[in-house]
Structure 1
């Protein structure tokens, strides 16, 4: 089941996210945020974008969310997206279902473009983004420093709709 996140989901979202922060360069955060911080992020995302969770039998399998891409007004119809899955949920279509629901929500909210950044190599994430309609549009080669070395960031883009309100 995919649904809107609630503050009660924050601890489970934090538990899913923490290994990505501690063990990978998938995210450039260096300290895992706690449940209180995730609750604040959930609330912020839901004010103008969305934060969705997937659950099965009461267990949270993953989450996807969107936020502002940049602060300047002309960017306001573009949303930056992310998705994180619990290890047991990978390869089961959960990421695709979450992302599809998130992109549909963004369309309904009037967003015209979705963008996503990912640290390469990340073939699973690249395949997921391709499967829902993203196209890789660029790459930075050394923008994040983590685990004693530089990492790049591939940028992906997807048109959601043309008929958007002018900022």
Structure 2
């Protein structure tokens, strides 16, 4: 586990990050209701997702790394993305944002670092609103989004079923 004093850096995600990013996401698939995916992915299955987040444009992937190396690359502590909100053209100035952290990386401000970098990038793009869906309950995610100026706009009640029960998703928006 990285120490509290390890310097965390945020950079764009690259293809070499694919295995680590998939591992982080799969933790949430297998262990939590935070994502409504129900089957783990292989890195190859996630390649299209990664490639849909280039270094520029409104759809970004920011990765937090520390000084710890795993093999030949720095350890990835988490990532944040901005992705299309909906597929229809009139939604093109809206993005959906999300943050996923490695299971042992919470409570260190990494989500905050990731969102600071992501929103700084989005400030240079033709993006008007950011949306975030937060499966309930998830106090840490709610606090993070509210710190960044997101406000609740509604809750989809029992919209997803995972682990044998139904889950609500609270939706938040932020003007960009």
Q: Structure 1 runs of 4+ off > 6 angstroms? A: none
What runs of 5+ residues in structure 1 fail to find an aligned partner?
161-167
Residues 1-167 of structure 1 aligned to structure 2 (within 5 Å): 1-46=9-54, 48=57, 49-57=59-67, 58-160=74-176
Aligned residues: 160
CA RMSD of aligned residues (A): 1.2
Report which of the two has the higher share of helix: 1
Please report how far the alpha carbon of residue 126 of structure 1 lies from its aligned counterpart in structure 2 after TM superposition. Answer: 0.3
Q: TM-score, normalised by structure 2?
A: 0.87
Shift of 1:37: 2.4
TM-score by length of 1: 0.92
In the TM superposition, what is the alpha-carbon distance from 1:147 to its structure 2 partner? Answer: 1.0
Shift of 1:45: 2.2
Structure 2, unaligned runs of 5 or more: 1-8, 68-73
